[in-house]
Amino acid sequence: MTKEEFLNEIEQVIQSRPEWSRRGQAVFNHIDQKYGVARIAQFSHGKDCYYEDKYIKDFVECCWQLLNENK
């Protein structure tokens, strides 16, 4: 998967999230469930967008880096 494909996937998650879900919450949950690196980004790297949508970009970038480290 390229970074562009990853970012497009995350954008799709944001666009298709339920009305009751915040953008950051949807992104965090998706990455946690599909890739399993959300909590590493949250606890080991201090990147968390679950409660603050303004941190989505930093969180997604950190997750992308973590996914590429595991290759």
Task: State pTM to two decimals.
Answer: 0.94
Rounded-to-integer distance, Cα 35 and Cα 29, Å: 10
Ranges of the chain with pLDDT below 50: none
d(CA 24, CA 51): 7
Cβ atoms of 8 and 19 closer than 8 Å:
no
The DSSP call for residue 54 is: G
Cα gap 13→42, rounded to integer Å: 19
Q: For residue range 22-39, what is the model confidence (pLDDT) as tens digits?
A: 999 999 999 999 999 999
Residue 43 is predicted with a pLDDT of: 97
